[in-house]
Structure 1
Amino acid sequence: MTAVFERDVPSTSPFAVRGVIEGFYGSPWSHAQRVDLISFLAERGMNTFVYSPKDDPLVRHDWRSPYAGAELARMSELIARCAEHGMTFLYCLSPGLTIKYSSSDDLRMLLAKFAAVGELGVTSFGLLLDDIPARLQHPEDIATFSDLVDAHQSLIGGVFSQFSSDTHLTVCPTQYWGYGTEEYISRLGRALDPRIDLFWTGRAICSPTLDLADAAAFARSTGRPATYWDNYPVNDVAMGHELHIGPYQGRDPQLFRFSTGIIANGMQLFESSKIPFATIADYLRDPEGYDAEASWKQAIMDVVGPENAADFTVFADTVRFSCLSADDAPELAEALERFTFELEYGDRVSAAAELVQRAESMVQAADRLLDGPVSNPALIAEVRPWLKSFRLGSQALVEVATLATVDRLDTDGPTVLRPFLEGLRNARRRVFGDLLDMTLAELVAAEGSPPATPASASPLSASITAKE
C-alpha cells in the first residue's frame, strides 16, 4: 500500500494551487467577465484560473472541434492575461460523453486539441471525466477493456505519455467524491503516473467540510494529495433558488498538508461569486489565521462598495444557507426568538417595538439597494430576485410586529399576513430560509383560518428537500 506523505509546504504560501474554476452548468461567463476575474483573483493571491464551462460546446459536446476566429482570439487573450498576472491558465476538455476509449483516432484528436491550445502558451491541462456514464457504452470499448477504470487508465496514460516534461495534467475522475478509498478511485490512482493530479470534491459533491483526516485517506489510497475541486459557491441545477454569498468555512486549517490546493467552482452569477471568492482567497493565503466573519465583511466592502456595504450585509445575513452553512438568518433568528418569548411571557409592547425597528431598518436597506444609487449595479441586478423577497419578508415582519403591538395578531394576522406568505413562496428564492416561512405559516393558520400550504410542502421547501 502506498505510504501517506506530507507535501513540502512553502513558507509564504501553504497551498501550491489557489484558484477558481468556471465549471458550472448554465450560461458561461462572458469574455469580459473572465478578463476581469483574472485581475480580481491575482490581486488576492490566487494563482490559477481553470477554464471548463460545462455549457461551452468546444469543451464538452464538440470537444473535437478546433478553436478558430473570434473564439481563438478570445482564448489567446485570456491566456495572455493570466501570464501577465503570473497565473496558471489550466485548460480542460470533457470528452467523456462521446469518446471511444479504444479509438486511436479519438486519442489523436484529443491530443491535437490540447496541442492547439498549447501553441497559445498553455502548459497545464485538465482531462475531465465527470458527469458521464459510470460504465462502458461502446461495443468496441466493452470488448477492449475490463471496465471503466481500465479504460480511463488507458486514456489518461495515452494522453500524459505524449506531453512534454514541462506540461502538467490534472484529471477529474468519474467518481470524484466520497471517502477516497473506493475501488474506482483507488485503482485509478494507483495506476497513474504520480505526477498527474486528481480533482476531488470531498465527502460529498458539495462538501460541508474538508477534513485533514479525509485528505490523508485520499493520499494513502491514490498515492497523491488531492487537488480539491470545491463546489462552493456554485449554485447550479437544483440549487438555483439559493444565493451562495456567505463566507468560506468548514475547511481544515491544516488541509494543505495533504492537498495541493483548492479550486473553487463559481456561480453563473459572476459579480455575486466575487464575495465568496475573496474569502476563499483569504483562507488559501493563511488557512491557520483565517477569520471567516472578518474576511466576509471585508469582501462585501470590496465587492459591494463602502457606500452600500452596510445595507448589503443586512441582506446577506438572511441568505447564508449553503452546503457550508445550515444557518438561514442567524441575526433575525435571535430577534424572533426574543420576540416570541416576550410576546408570551414578557413585555409585549417592548418586544414588538424592537422587532418593528429591526424590520423597518431591513425594509429601508432593501429600498436603498433596489431603488437607490449603488456602486456595483451589476451585482444588484444579479441578486435582485433575492432582494425583492428580502424586502417582502421584511415588510411582513413589520406587519407582524405592528399587529402584536395592538394585540391583533390572532384576529387580523391570517388576513394581513397570508399575501406575504404566498408572495414569498411564489418567488421561490431562499431568503430567510424556513425561518420566516414557518413563522408566517403558523400565524396565518391561527384562529381556525384555513391553513396555508405547510412549509415542508411549498415549492421552495420541496426543492430543498429533494436536493438534500
Structure 2
Amino acid sequence: MTNKILSVIFLLVLFSRTTFAASIPLRGVVEGFYGKEWTAEERADVLRFCHSNHLNAYIYAPKDDPYHRKKWRKPYPADKLDALGNLVAVAQQNNVRFIFAVSPGLDLSYHGAKGEKDFALLMRKLDVMYKIGVRDFAVFFDDLKDKNGMHHESGKAQAGFLNRVQKELRRQYKDVASLITVPTEYYRFDMLGNSGETNDYTKDFADTLSKEIIVLYTGDGVVCDGISEEDYQAANTIYGRELGIWWNYPVNDYSVAPVGKRRAKRNAKLALGAIEKLPASNASAVFFNPMSQYNMSKIALATGAIYADDPASYDASQAWDRVLKEQFGELAPAMKVFAVHSSHMENSWAKCGADDAPEFVDAVRTVMMSARLNRKLTGVAELSRQIDEMEKAADLLLNNLEPRYLAECKPQLKQFKRIAQADRLALKSLQDKKIDPRLKALRREIHKHAPKAILSEKAALKFIDDTIDLLGTQWE
C-alpha cells in the first residue's frame, strides 16, 4: 500500500512539473528591427508560427514603417490599413495577441495646444486600430537622442503622456489590455549615471508611470551578453515593478566587427544560435527581435519559445538541437555545422549569442601551438575532419535546402564553403611550412564577399589570417 501511495505521489509531482510549468505570461516576437520590412505573407506566417510554438503575442513595430515612427501623425493609407486588418484577423484565428505599436517621440509635443493636438492625433490613430480589431497597444520612446546626446523630453513628461493614453483607452474601451512601453533609457547602463545612481530621466519616468503599464528593457546594453538573475532584479528595483524583456537576438540590423579593412554590412551575418543567458525567473513579458531574414530567424525564435514556456528548466543546447531537427529534418546535422559558425554577434557596442565554433577554435589552438614552436604539427587529423565537415555541410545545404531558406542564406553558405576551402589550404601550408599560393588568392576572394556575407570571424576565418601571418614572419 505504501509503495502504491508513493508511486501516485511521484506521478502527481511529475505531472505537475510537466503540465503546469510556469510560462512567461506575455511572450512573443517584436518586429522591431531597422531595414527592409517583412512582407504581408511573412507576417501572417509569423503569427501561425507563434501559435504552433506556444507564443501568444506579436508586436508590430517595424522601425522603417514611416507611419509607425517618422510619420506617426498620419493615418495609414487604405491599402496598408487593409493589410493590417488582415493580419489582425490572422492573429485572432491563431490566438495571438496583435500588439500595435507607435513611436511618436521623435517630434511629439507634450504641452500646450500642440500637446493637445498630438494627443488627439495619437488617440485617433489607436482608435482606427481598435476598429480593425486591435486590443493591445504599445507606445515606444526608444532611440530618441538628439545631436548633443540629450533626451528630447523628460521622463516625467513621457510617463505622464503614457498614463493619459492608457486612461483614455480604458475610458473609451473596456476590453483593451495594459499599455506597453519602451523608455528612452531602455537598458540598465543607460539608466545609471557615472556614480552608479539612477539618472533623473529614469527616476522620473519610473516614479510617474502607472504600475499597470508594462515596461520593456534590453538588459545591461542594447545588445548584451545575457541578463543574469541579479542584474534583472536590480533593474526591477529601479522601476519598482517586474520588467518585461525586449531581447535583441537574433536581430542583425547592425554591422558586426570589421573584417580586415572591410566592414560587414547590416544583415551580412546571420544569427543562427539559440536564445541563451536569460533569467530563470519569470519576467512580465519577453519579446524576441528577429532578423529581416525571416525564415532563418525561426531557429532562434523557436528556442526562445521553449525558454518562454518554462524559463526555470530551459537548456539552450537541448532546445537548439530540438529546433534544428524539427525545422530541417535530415539536413539538421549539416545546418548545425553551418549555424555553429554563425551564432555570435559582436561589434564595438554589441555582444550576444554563443561563441562561434568553439570546438574548431580548440582544434586550431592545438595545431597552432605546435606550429608556433616550429615542431611537428599535432591535432592535424581533428582539424582536418572539422574542415571536411564544413565543406560537406555547405555543399549539402546549397544543393538540398528548401528555396525559402536558401534565398536568405545562400551568400553566407557560399562564403562558408570558401572559408572551408581556405582553411584546408591553411592547414596544408602549415604542414608544408610555406604559404600555398592559392591561399592568398582565396583569402582575397573571401574578403571581397565579406561585406555581404560574414561568419566565423574569430574561428575559421581567423585561422586563415593567423596562418598567413605566422608563415610570413616565421619562415618566409
Equivalent residue for 1:83, pick from 67, 84, 92: 92
- Superposed displacement of residue 448, structure 1: 4.8
One-letter amino acid matched to 1:373 = N
**Secondary structure in structure 2 of the residue aligned to 1:386:** helix
Distance across 2 between alignment mates of 1:424 and 1:80: 46
Do 1:136 and 1:148's aligned partners in 2 also have CA atoms closer than 8 Å? no
Distance across 2 between alignment mates of 1:328 and 1:60: 35
- Superposed displacement of residue 236, structure 1: 0.4
One-letter amino acid matched to 1:379 = Y
Sequence identity (%): 27
Distance across 2 between alignment mates of 1:65 and 1:231: 29
**Normalising to structure 2: TM-score of the pair?**
0.83
Do 2:247 and 2:288's aligned partners in 1 also have CA atoms closer than 8 Å? yes
Distance across 2 between alignment mates of 1:336 and 1:387: 21
Equivalent residue for 2:120, pick from 92, 108, 112: 108
Query: Is 1:334 aligned to 2:362, yes or no?
Result: yes
Do 1:16 and 1:261's aligned partners in 2 also have CA atoms closer than 8 Å? yes
- Superposed displacement of residue 120, structure 1: 1.5
Query: Is 1:45 aligned to 2:54, yes or no?
Result: yes
2:440 maps to what in 1? 418
Equivalent residue for 2:280, pick from 243, 253, 256: 253
- Superposed displacement of residue 170, structure 1: 0.8
* RMSD between aligned residues: 2.8
Alignment of 1:115-194 (within 5 A): 115-133=127-145, 148-164=154-170, 165-167=174-176, 168-179=178-189, 181-194=198-211
Alignment of 1:284-363 (within 5 A): 284-303=308-327, 305-322=328-345, 323-325=351-353, 327-341=355-369, 351-363=379-391
One-letter amino acid matched to 2:40 = H
Residues 221-249 of structure 1 show CA distances to partners (whole Å, capped at 9, x for unaligned) of 22321111111111103242332111111
Residues 121-143 of structure 1 show CA distances to partners (whole Å, capped at 9, x for unaligned) of 21210001111235999xxx99x
One-letter amino acid matched to 1:368 = L
Distance across 2 between alignment mates of 1:228 and 1:344: 46
Query: Is 1:244 aligned to 2:288, yes or no?
Result: no
**Secondary structure in structure 2 of the residue aligned to 1:250:** coil
- Distance of aligned partners of 1:74 and 1:418 in 2 relative to their CA distance in 1, 3 Å threshold: same
Residues 430-461 of structure 1 show CA distances to partners (whole Å, capped at 9, x for unaligned) of 3222233443223324555799xxxxxxxxxx
1:387 maps to what in 2? 413
Distance across 2 between alignment mates of 1:76 and 1:211: 39
Equivalent residue for 1:74, pick from 65, 75, 83: 83
Query: Is 1:436 aligned to 2:434, yes or no?
Result: no
Do 1:227 and 1:260's aligned partners in 2 also have CA atoms closer than 8 Å? yes
Residues 251-272 of structure 1 show CA distances to partners (whole Å, capped at 9, x for unaligned) of 1212x1xx20211111111011
One-letter amino acid matched to 2:289 = N
- Distance of aligned partners of 1:450 and 1:430 in 2 relative to their CA distance in 1, 3 Å threshold: farther
Do 1:24 and 1:236's aligned partners in 2 also have CA atoms closer than 8 Å? yes
- Superposed displacement of residue 109, structure 1: 0.5
Query: Is 1:16 aligned to 2:25, yes or no?
Result: yes
- Superposed displacement of residue 297, structure 1: 1.3
Distance across 1 between alignment mates of 2:26 and 2:457: 34
Distance across 2 between alignment mates of 1:80 and 1:248: 29
Distance across 2 between alignment mates of 1:158 and 1:136: 29
One-letter amino acid matched to 1:396 = A
- Superposed displacement of residue 279, structure 1: 0.4
Equivalent residue for 2:298, pick from 270, 274, 280: 274
What residue ranges of structure 2 are gaps of 5+ in the alignment?
1-18, 192-197, 257-265, 346-350
**Secondary structure in structure 2 of the residue aligned to 1:162:** helix
One-letter amino acid matched to 1:191 = T
- Distance of aligned partners of 1:443 and 1:223 in 2 relative to their CA distance in 1, 3 Å threshold: closer
**Secondary structure in structure 1 of the residue aligned to 2:245:** strand
**Secondary structure in structure 1 of the residue aligned to 2:438:** helix
2:404 maps to what in 1? 378
Do 1:233 and 1:244's aligned partners in 2 also have CA atoms closer than 8 Å? yes
Equivalent residue for 2:215, pick from 168, 192, 198: 198
2:425 maps to what in 1? 399
Distance across 2 between alignment mates of 1:68 and 1:177: 34
- Superposed displacement of residue 317, structure 1: 1.1
- Superposed displacement of residue 192, structure 1: 1.5
One-letter amino acid matched to 1:363 = E
**Secondary structure in structure 2 of the residue aligned to 1:433:** coil
Residues 409-431 of structure 1 show CA distances to partners (whole Å, capped at 9, x for unaligned) of x2243x23212222222322432
Number of matched residues?
426
- Superposed displacement of residue 207, structure 1: 2.2
One-letter amino acid matched to 1:312 = M
Distance across 2 between alignment mates of 1:64 and 1:213: 40
Residues 142-195 of structure 1 show CA distances to partners (whole Å, capped at 9, x for unaligned) of 9xxxx5223213321221221124322111111111155433222111111111
Do 2:160 and 2:209's aligned partners in 1 also have CA atoms closer than 8 Å? no
Do 1:24 and 1:268's aligned partners in 2 also have CA atoms closer than 8 Å? yes
One-letter amino acid matched to 1:184 = Y
- Superposed displacement of residue 349, structure 1: 7.8
- Distance of aligned partners of 1:439 and 1:65 in 2 relative to their CA distance in 1, 3 Å threshold: same
Comparing 439-448 and 187-196, the one that deviates more: 439-448
Distance across 2 between alignment mates of 1:51 and 1:397: 43
Residues 308-343 of structure 1 show CA distances to partners (whole Å, capped at 9, x for unaligned) of 211111111111212333622112112222333565
Do 1:242 and 1:321's aligned partners in 2 also have CA atoms closer than 8 Å? no
- Superposed displacement of residue 281, structure 1: 0.4
Distance across 2 between alignment mates of 1:438 and 1:82: 45
Do 1:134 and 1:148's aligned partners in 2 also have CA atoms closer than 8 Å? no
